Amino acid sequence: MQPDFFIRGYTPDDYPEMIHLWEGLGLGGAHRGDDEKIILQTIEMGGKLLLMFEKHTGKMIGTSWLTVDGRRIYLHHFGIHADYQGRRLSVPLLNASLEFAKLTGLQIKLEVHKNNEKALSLYKKAGFAYLGDYDVYIIRDISAI
């Protein structure tokens, strides 16, 4: 049986639909620095932004943004549209993400909310291990420095 979805890399034409999906899932948006310029910059630096689509409608239903710092790959903005959750679509999207990481030969790291039990289960099953009891901090507005 053929899957009813496909996964491909990001193109700039995808931005409006992708941002709408991210905002709906609470994953990000331009207000968090996730603008078109930054996305293209991370891809040029060796990263990848994978998008999952439903075949028969062409609707974007998932994203996985992989950025590279030269030492590690960071998995960001991994999510499945709310209407499509519970169908195990996260598994092939995560597998495609891990395959990209494997091809680079770099470690892969992610951040996940400690109360997101579904995501924690998915990541643990895929081989991710808890790194330790770290707090994460960020300065989003560089002009405030």
Which tens digits make up the pLDDT trace of 84-136?
999 999 999 999 999 999 999 999 999 888 888 998 898 999 999 998 888 88
Name the CATH topology of 5-144. Aminopeptidase (3.40.630)
Which tens digits make up the pLDDT trace of 60-92?
999 999 999 999 999 999 999 999 999 999 999
Spans of all domains in the chain? 5-144
Instruction: Name, in order, each residue with C-beta under 8 angstroms of 131's C-beta and a sequence gap of 6 or more.
Output: 109
Which tokens sit at 8? Answer: 């491909």
Which tokens sit at 49? Answer: 């932004």
Q: How far apart are CA 42 and CA 65, in angstroms?
A: 9
